[in-house]
Structure 1
Amino acid sequence: MTDVMIYVQHLLGIGHVRRTALLVAEMRKAGLSVGVVSGGIPDDAIDFSADEVIQLPACRSADHGFSGLVDQDGNLVDDAWKDGRKNALLAAYQTLSPRLLLVEMFPFGRRAFRFELLPLLEQAGQDGVKRVCSVRDLLVRKKDISKERWMRDIALSHFDRVLVHGDPAVFGFDRSFPFAADLGDMLEYTGYVAADIARNDAGPRGGVVVSAGGGAVGAELITAAIAARPLSVKYADVNWDIITGPHFPADAFAKLAANMPAGITLHRFLPDFRERLTRAVLSISQAGYNTLMDVLAAGVPSVMVPFAEGGESEQTERAEIFAARGIISLVSANDLTPEKLALAIDNADFPEEFELSLDGARIGAAKIRAIIMGKDNGHLG
């Protein structure tokens, strides 16, 4: 028997699995055994550090607009593929035999996977297994309120707890989910899930770090950053490191590498990325949840360009909130030019103090352990 089974599915970026990995590490520190069931494309850069990892038949988003699902070979998934995957997920559940099932995002996202998740959740409920949803602070805005009602109804009927990885002192889950109040006491906050990074407040800083997350998107940001470097008054003469991410297209990477200006080093992946942030004078990146948390934990001035394709609203909305607090500098994707990026780069700063809970992984793990043990672990905020 495994204490916790975690279901996670990444479609485009790898932010979901990075956040899951941080939670897994804290659960294991708390003495829990953890099995991860992953449905995304396997990636050597992903290390869950779980007791067991089960890979389902993999799929990803067909494009940046999330128009559909394709398998590992790029073929659109059909009903037969879905049946096979559902059976593989249920078999993984039987193998792990968990005391608690943790599902990442669903029902507040990953609606396309209800074909396998509803049967899994129903089986877990019949077996008396606690069912917990792990969800980030902001949801992508929906135009159809009936979909949000469906999220609420599934949360109430198929889950025992919803853990929101945000800080209610900044904003509550109701900012992007209008039926949050209907969830009542089953809704709890953990604080933001951030890596435990040793800050470098007193030490010297040098260099600029440009990152594109997992690399599935971000080519325009990288191109603009390269062009903005000579326009920067402050940072034109310092070394820049550009990390494309493991999913950056190979042909685009080769083209960049062949034409890289002096003073810029191109990387596909850096295992010490977070440590480099603590030593950098500036971070330039998209505005995904995990990248923002890395920046805040490292205490580095930053310029963020949110990903906004395919109706994605959460990066932009979160970045606007933190920019309004003076914590980050913001350039919208529509305004992204080398000139505007260079101006933001030269004006970027990091506040001396800000109030924000970044201990969400530890708190989340403690709450999960308390649920398993049948104890109330209380609420944040």
Structure 2
Amino acid sequence: MSLRVLIAVTHLLGAGHLTRAAALARAFAGAGHETTLVSGGTPARLADLGGAEFVQLPPVRTIGTDFKTLLDETLQPVDENYLEQRQAILLDTLRSTRPDILITELFPFGRRVLAGEFTALIEAARALTRRPLVLCSIRDILVAPAKAERIAEAHERILRDYDAILVHGDPSLVPLEASWPVDEGIRPLLRYTGYVDENENAVPEAHRHGIVVSGGSSAASLPLYRASLEAARLVNERPWRILVGRGVSEEDFQALRGSAPDQAVVERARPDFRALLAGAEISVSQAGYNTVMDLLRCGVRSVLVPFEAGHETEQRLRAERLKRIGLADLVSEDELSGTRLAEAIRQKLAQPASPPPAVAVDGARQSVAIAESLILSRPALHPKIDWSPLNSALDRARDQGCPVRLWWRDDDAVAHTPALGRLLTLARRYDAGIGLAVIPSSLQASLATCLADESSAFALVHGWRHDNHAPPGIKKAEFGAHRPVEIMAAEAQRALDAARRQLGAKLLPVFVPPWNRISCELIPHLPRLGFAGLSTFTDRAAATPAPGLLQINTHVDPIDWRGTRSAVAPEQIIAGFAAAIERRTAGVADRNEPIGFLTHHLVHDEVIWSLCERLIAHLTARGVHFLSPDACFGMETGSHLRSNGI
């Protein structure tokens, strides 16, 4: 599959937005897609774009944090004719490239001063014979407008014009909600890609010695450079290297060089910055997106002085997140001095180094994969869904006093993967409990780590190895009626013990047989093995199939396993939930059994993800939430630990 991709970006202060957009262009081109990057900011040095075309618009820029006044290259305010020239080139590029995918960087979450040209671009794209997929590309942290109507306007544009939002961050470090008021309208459009790293080369091994100071590409870091030179006189037992961005004038640069102490080298920013950083004991910098990307990759201890002029909050929030995980200390701009900076550096030098956090940094390639998946599944991504059968079933249950209780089980987890991270983010987003049926023989330590802070996510025991022991021609089963019950009981015991060692209090003693099939001879043995719960598929025959064993099954599966292996038709999922509710309302099924939603995160494509989120969002809007599995199985106060002697 070869696609045509058009990426539009305008950076106004530093070059971080352009750098990130260039990394995306390079990734799309590297995947074989015909890619064009259009830049409307100040021309800047870019790494090889890997075959992507580059178009430079008549540039605009700003000074300081005055983002309302656009200036040209001579620092004169631009007029309407100048903006019309930009727009004409932008639209000509759209018509000549005829993109399958159009990506606008930051807009409509920002760049309101350029709303005219971005709106014209999107309207022209919508008018093309073949409308492109329209995506918004944003960094991990945004600056939300103070006025609610501007936020509402951005959301309105997103819902009207965009197919998805590529969030270039990792929600385990900082979710978008931390900086922007995400509502239930745009939430299903969010696609976390991980951080976009402009430099995908391996980080070189180096002996750590000395202090490296960097300040991005703009002149906003001059106070940091000056304070660093003062601090270098106080921390004079180590070499210093101060890298000055190209946005600093030659006069200021020479003044910095002239005031440097003997052990401090002042030079312009270098292409081998990451190698220098990998060999540093301490990094001193602001907290811009690309700088933090370098810090995460190199794992270097850091002192951050976030840019906060003009009430900017982005860098402060990012710096606080890095401080929370032990990678950085903070010095506020309003307290910045050589003495204060030297004090922070000495404190950081005295602390042991922390291992780099497990943060997703493959954002460029993941952005390509997400965009490709959206293109392939586009006809099915946003189907019109008739919710009326589900709504009617919910209304009848309410009128007849039948409580509708839901729970969510997801099978086959063994480790922290991007797909599992996405699943847990989705559950957290809607305050939904989730039970992860984990395969004990394959568990990795990363699973326990990612579950540790998830208050409503718990693990269940998904067999032992997830091996099929059924004879050929018989439906698959690991614990079916094909082996001696003594052997299966021993394996179930081994599975529970192994999972408990790895997961501790995050494991519930609930047995989930692979393929939802279990020998009736094994069930009575489960309580003596230490199990308190059992879960398969379809309505249960009895709440307690054995003394001390509570059975709660799943009932609706969104995957077309025998056909496309993508999502079943939306109406089939709606009918499944409506029927399960109706059976309880009519007394045909046990009304006390929660209705179970069964997913398999490792095989979800974009259609399945989208459909699951739309379903969960709809149920949440109706006031129906997914129970936490510990409450579902009556173990919410740690009774599953006490009953098993823990």
TM-score by length of 1: 0.93
Q: Is the 8 A contact 2:68 2:113 kept in 1?
A: no
Distance 2:421 2:96 in 1: 34
C-alpha spacing 1:200/1:299, structure 2 compared with 1 (3 Å): farther
Q: Which moved more, 1:135-144 or 1:108-117?
A: 135-144
Partner of 1:372: 375
Distance 1:206 1:26 in 2: 34
Partner of 2:269: 269
C-alpha spacing 1:322/1:171, structure 2 compared with 1 (3 Å): same
| Alignment of 1:279 onto 2:276 | no
Alignment of 1:302-321 (within 5 A): 302-321=302-321
Partner of 1:109: 110
Partner of 1:60: 61
Distance 1:33 1:379 in 2: 32
Partner of 1:221: 224
Partner of 2:179: 176
CA-to-partner distance for each residue in 1:33-79, whole Å, 9 max, x for gaps? 21100001112356544521000010101333334110111111122
Partner amino acid for 2:109? F
Q: Indicate the SS of the match to 1:61.
A: coil
Partner of 2:401: none
Distance 1:45 1:3 in 2: 21
Partner of 1:242: 242
CA-to-partner distance for each residue in 1:73-111, whole Å, 9 max, x for gaps? 111112222222111110121222211111100001111
Please report the RMSD computed on the Cα atoms of aligned residues, expressed in angstroms: 2.1
Partner of 1:252: 252
Partner of 1:294: 294
Partner of 1:92: 93
Q: Is the 8 A contact 1:2 1:35 kept in 2?
A: no
Partner amino acid for 1:181? E
Q: Is the 8 A contact 2:64 2:220 kept in 1?
A: no
Q: Indicate the SS of the match to 2:71.
A: strand
- Rg larger in structure: 2
C-alpha spacing 1:322/1:5, structure 2 compared with 1 (3 Å): same
Once the two structures are aligned, what percentage of the paired residues are identical? 35
Q: Indicate the SS of the match to 2:144.
A: coil
C-alpha spacing 1:300/1:183, structure 2 compared with 1 (3 Å): same
Q: Indicate the SS of the match to 2:104.
A: strand
Partner amino acid for 2:86? R
Distance 2:65 2:163 in 1: 33
Shift, 1:272, TM fit? 0.6
Distance 1:2 1:296 in 2: 32
Partner of 1:143: 146
CA-to-partner distance for each residue in 1:252-287, whole Å, 9 max, x for gaps? 012122332212222222011112111111111111
C-alpha spacing 1:188/1:45, structure 2 compared with 1 (3 Å): closer
C-alpha spacing 1:222/1:291, structure 2 compared with 1 (3 Å): same
More contact order relative to length (CA 8 Å, sep ≥ 6): 1
Partner of 2:74: 73
Partner amino acid for 2:248? F
TM-score by length of 2: 0.56
Q: Is the 8 A contact 1:35 1:50 kept in 2?
A: no
Alignment of 1:19-58 (within 5 A): 19-44=20-45, 47-58=48-59
CA-to-partner distance for each residue in 1:160-216, whole Å, 9 max, x for gaps? 110111112233212222134321322111112223353456x41222211110033
Q: Which moved more, 1:188-197 or 1:313-322?
A: 188-197
Q: Is the 8 A contact 1:8 1:103 kept in 2?
A: yes
Q: Which moved more, 1:116-125 or 1:16-25?
A: 16-25
Distance 1:95 1:337 in 2: 53
Partner amino acid for 2:240? W
Alignment of 1:159-238 (within 5 A): 159-194=162-197, 195-200=199-204, 203-232=206-235, 236-238=236-238
Q: Which moved more, 1:66-75 or 1:192-201?
A: 192-201
C-alpha spacing 1:67/1:129, structure 2 compared with 1 (3 Å): closer
Partner amino acid for 1:96? T
Partner amino acid for 1:115? G
Partner of 2:632: none
Q: Is the 8 A contact 1:30 1:369 kept in 2?
A: no
Structure 2: any 5+ residue segments left out of the alignment? 382-417, 423-646
Shift, 1:123, TM fit? 1.3
CA-to-partner distance for each residue in 1:140-179, whole Å, 9 max, x for gaps? 1321111111110011111111011111223321222213
Partner of 1:132: 135
Moved over 6 A (4+): 375-379
C-alpha spacing 1:63/1:170, structure 2 compared with 1 (3 Å): closer
